[in-house]
Each structure stands twice: as C-alpha cells, then as structure tokens.
Amino acid sequence: MNSQSKQCQNCKSDFTIESEDFAFYERIKVPPPTFCPDCRRQRRMAWRNERSIYRASCCLCGKAILTMYPEESGVQSTCRECWWSDSWDPLSYGADYNPDKTFFAQFSELAKRAPSLALSNVDCVDSDYSNFTAYNKNCYLVFGSGFNENVRYSRALRCRDSQDLFVGNSCELCYECTNCSDSYRLLFSYNSENCSDSYFLYNCRNCSNCLGCINLVDKSYCIFNQQYSKEEYSKKIAELELGKYSSLLNLEDKIKKEVVLKGIHKFANIVASSQTTGDNIRNSQNCHFCFDTLEDVQNCKYLYYCTELKDSYDGIGQYRMELGYENVDCNVSSSVLGGITIYDSNNIRYSKNCHNCSNLFGCVNLRKKQYCILNKQYSKEEYERLISEIIGQMNSNPYLDSKGRKHAYGDFYPIELSPFPYNQTIAQEYAFLDKGLALTNGYKWEEHNDKNYETDLTSLDLPDTIADVSDKILNQVIQCEHLGTCGEQCTTAFKIIPGELQFYRKMNLPLPRLCHNCRHYKRLRQRNPLKLWSRKCQCAGQKSENGIYQNTIAHPHGTDRCSNEFQTSYSPDRPEIVYCENCYQAEIV
C-alpha cells in the first residue's frame, strides 16, 4: 500500500504509516496502529516500573520481599524461590475466555489473580535491589542491566567496578558517565568510547589522560582541547584539585559553557550503520526512529534500548528477538506480540512473564507451557479455533478506556490497566506529565508521602574531599540536596553503603550531594529526547551560522552554507551547534 497519513486517537497529531510499515503489519497479521509512534512508546513505558521498589510479603510463603508492584495494584507478588519452584501451578489460576467481556479486561483480572514475580532478576547473584536485570553479580540499584559485576546506581551492560552510569557498555572503574563504552577510569563524560584516565569528555574516541575536551580522536594529555606535554598535563591536573567536590562543581559549569556549547555536535550518534535514523545506534541496518540500539539490529522501527533484533517494530528493552511488535523486556524469542518479560519463547501474544513457552495468548507467569489461553490448557486445534474467535471479538468489540480511546487487536495494553502509577514508570522519564494531566488522561498516580527521615547530615555538612570522610558515614543518613522539591522521585535522604565508600576512596572522589534518583535524572537531562526533527546543517561555510564556532578546514561546499538536511534528536530551539555527518567529520579528523 502507499503511505497514509492518520490522526492519533490519543494526542490528535498526524502521523504517517509508510508502505514498508503496511508490509510489516501484513506479515504479522495485525491492523495498522491508530496511536502515533510517540503515544505508542508512552503506552509501553507506562507498563514498566524499573526504579520504584516496595516492601511486601510473598503471597506463597509469606516471607518479606521487595517488589515492583505497589499494594494498590492488587497484584500478588511472590519471591523468586517460590515463583521458580514446582510448589504451585499457574494453570490453576486460569479461566475460560468470556466473549461478553473485552479481552484486555480479562487479562488484567488474570494478572492480578495469578502470583507474579516480585522483581525481574534472572540468574543474578547478590543483586536483590535491582529490577529488569540478568546475569549480574554484586550489583545494587541497577535497572535494565545485565552481565555486570560490582556496579551501582546504573543502567549498564558488561561493566565492572563502576557507578552512576546510564547506557554504559563494557566500562570499568567509570563514574557518572552517559552513553559511554569500552572505557577505563572515565569520569563525568558523555558519548565517548575507548577512553581512559579522563574527566569531562564529550564525543571523544580513543583518548587518554584528557580533561574537558570535545570531539577529540586519538589524543592524550589535552585540557579544554589544548595539547600539553605529559609533564605539563600532570601539573595542570594537580592544580585543578579534582578530588574536591567544589572543584568538580566549578569545572562542570565551566565545561558546559566553554566546551559543550561552543563546540560542534554531530546530528546523531550513528556508527557503522546504513539506512538508519535515530540516535545512539551501532552496527545496524535499515532501522528508523530507533534509539540506543547497541549492536546488530536490522529492519526495525520505533525501538528503544535493544540489541540483536531483526524485523521488529515498537519495542523496549529487547535482546535477540525476531518478528516482535509492541513488546517490553522480551529476550531470545520470536513472533511475540504484546509481550512483557517473555524469555526463550515463540508464538506468544499478549502475555506477561512467561519463559520457555510457545503458542500462548493472554497468559501470565507460565513456564514450559504451550497452547494456553488465559492460563488454561487447550489442544492445538481448540487453541487455534478460539484464538481466531478472540481476535475477531477484539476487533469488533475493542476495549474502550475511560477517555473513549479504542484498543483492539494489535494494540498494546491500555495505560489505565497498568498496575503501576504513571509517575513511577519510565514513561514519566520520557513523557513527563504532572499529576493533573495524568489523572485527566485516566492514568494512575502515586502521591509522594512525606518521608520525614531523621537525617544526620545535610549536603553542606559533607567534607569537600573523600580523605576527610571516616567510616562513620556508613551509619549516617544524608539529606538530599533537592529536599524532594525537584519532581524527580527524590528520596529526600540517602545512605552510603560499604562498597560505594570503597569506590570513592579508590577513585579519590568526593561524596555525592544528591540521592541516587536525582543523580539518575541529572544523567537523563544530558541525553536528547527520543524524538526526531528535520533540520539543516548549521555550517555556514567558514564558521557556524551563529558565528561561535570557527571551522578549522575548508569543507567541500566551500564558503557557501552546507545544504545537507537530516533528522536529528536536537530540537530546533536547542543551543548546541549541529553539523551534518560530512561537516562534522571534516572538523574532527
């Protein structure tokens, strides 16, 4: 079919369904979407609570546990040991499909009735305070992460002995880094790789012993993009007193004004990829509107934080998937529609937290099962007959939410049926809503009760250097500098744990002044939004169009303005100077 323009039934904005999109929808046999890509992503994100953890009791054995589900959700949480045991039968909670009720309503009832795994941690060791993680060891408050060891307060893959990372990959002894990979002793840096023993790097590659630099490649002993000898560099670094909190705070502000805003920025961080649009993409082909696709993603669209995917649309947090659509946290599976935490499975539709299964529809918390609907076992022939009936009824009688939005077959679950308050999900991080607007849209909201922690120290009481911190700090409660006024899920107070203190001492780093949630949001603000705008290159010939950046070399377009256009996650009202691929590469090589 030719491309078509449609109006989103949620935000009322126009969006386009391209001819290749129709081909994909036909291949997986779903109707075209009626929600725009942004609203579809928001809807999926509202079903993923990563960072809010509650105390509860296991509904099977009664022991105290941590869970992602608030009590008000009605979800029955169970500990990891019980859930993976054979002491209970998930099929005993099943029910016949009722044609007089919508499918989504019946699924929601089942999801509350059957015991749910309290936290999604797969094969993790000493990493209980984490969620949506796999194969971690000795990690604390890491989320959406895997294959890490001794990592805290992060979203990371394959990292060791590091802290406060967001989208970190294969890093060691790194701290406060965002979008950084394959680095060692890299601190306070953004979008840099293969760097070591450096501070405050932006868009740098293969650099060592550098500070406050942007767009450097294969450089050493540079400060603010100025070359020094090894001896001069060591002297300058000593003068900066990087072990002091006050020094780091002043440097951070100076670097933003004098380095980040005066340097050029490539329109998108796309590496070794072809026919691709989005940001933070590596080794991928024919992918569009994709963000944080780490490796080997092919023929995909509208993805976020995925790796090794093929022929998939509309997904969050996926690994080794094929033919997926409208999924969250699905790994090593194929042909999955509307899946939430589906592992090692195939031919799954509208199911949650199922492992090593095939041919499921509307099931929750199953292991090694096949041909089940709403957790009830069927023969293959009965399963296929009833599936056809359910799909027909989902289209003829779609779920109508409180605001009149229709959810038919092919749609993800309605936000209003999510077990999580909107402001406790990752949707709030990328599609921020205040309480009034969230409630107006029919979404749940959790009030932040006053914590009233008895604190021992304020941020002003903390020593300027780690050398002046004694072990006494491990028993003290520190007041977060934001005091809960920031709207960033501030915990208002925090403690330092032993491994964390050891890390600060080893790295000669001062104590943080913010709680881990506020630090997380600070890293998020470094990143561009998960959106694209059509823009023109800001290279005006010999310098940038605002006159701030002076080109260092003649570009192929000469003294005329560059005519290249592109899609970028830098919105037109941003202050950064944005260049196309050709002009950017001409300047940094």
Q: Which of 306, 310, 350 is nearest to 329 (CA)?
A: 306
Phi-psi group of 277: left, alpha or beta (phi > 0 → left; psi -120 to 50 → alpha; rest → beta): beta
Helix (H, G, I), strand (E, B) or coil at 300: strand
Helix (H, G, I), strand (E, B) or coil at 304: strand
DSSP state for residue 257 in the 8-state scheme = I
Helix (H, G, I), strand (E, B) or coil at 445: coil
Query: What is the reported pLDDT for 260?
Result: 95
Helix (H, G, I), strand (E, B) or coil at 506: helix
Q: Which of 423, 528, 418 is nearest to 44 (CA)?
A: 418
The tokens of 174 are what?
């790194």
Q: How far is CA 322 from CA 309, 316, 347, 537, in A?
A: 6, 14, 11, 35
pTM for the full model? Answer: 0.94
From first to last of its 589 residues, the chain has per-residue pLDDT tens of: 799 999 999 999 999 999 999 999 999 999 999 999 999 999 999 999 999 999 999 999 999 999 999 999 999 999 999 999 999 999 999 999 999 999 999 999 999 999 999 999 889 999 999 999 989 999 999 999 999 999 999 999 999 999 999 999 999 999 999 999 999 999 999 999 999 999 999 999 999 999 999 999 999 999 999 999 999 999 999 999 999 999 999 999 999 999 999 999 999 999 999 999 999 999 999 999 999 998 899 999 999 999 999 999 999 999 999 999 999 999 999 999 999 999 999 999 999 999 999 999 999 999 999 999 999 999 999 999 999 999 999 999 999 999 999 999 999 999 999 999 999 999 999 999 999 999 999 999 998 776 778 999 999 999 999 999 999 999 999 999 999 888 788 999 999 999 999 999 999 999 999 999 999 999 999 999 999 999 999 999 999 999 999 999 999 999 999 999 999 999 999 999 999 999 999 998 6
Query: What is the reported pLDDT for 296?
Result: 93
Q: Which long-range contacts (CB under 8 A, 24 or more apart) does 387-394 make?
A: 387/349, 387/361, 389/97, 389/99, 390/97, 390/103, 390/361, 390/362, 393/99, 393/103, 394/102, 394/103
Query: What is the reported pLDDT for 487?
Result: 79
Q: Which long-range contacts (CB under 8 A, 24 or more apart) does 267-274 make?
A: 267/535, 267/537, 267/566, 267/567, 267/568, 267/570, 267/578, 267/579, 267/580, 267/581, 267/584, 268/566, 268/567, 268/568, 268/569, 269/179, 269/191, 269/203
Query: What is the reported pLDDT for 450?
Result: 66
Query: What is the reported pLDDT for 67?
Result: 98
Residue ranges covered by each domain of the chain: 94-118+312-413, 131-266, 270-301, 459-526, 532-589
Instruction: Give me the torsion for CA of 243, 244, 247, 249, rounded to 10°.
Output: 100
Query: What is the reported pLDDT for 533?
Result: 98
The span from the CA of 165 to the CA of 480, in Å, is: 19
The span from the CA of 291 to the CA of 273, in Å, is: 13
Query: What is the reported pLDDT for 488?
Result: 86
Q: Which long-range contacts (CB under 8 A, 24 or more apart) does 324-330 make?
A: 325/24, 325/28, 325/30, 325/410, 326/40, 326/44, 326/410, 326/411, 326/412, 327/44, 328/44, 328/45, 328/47, 328/48, 329/48, 329/120, 329/132
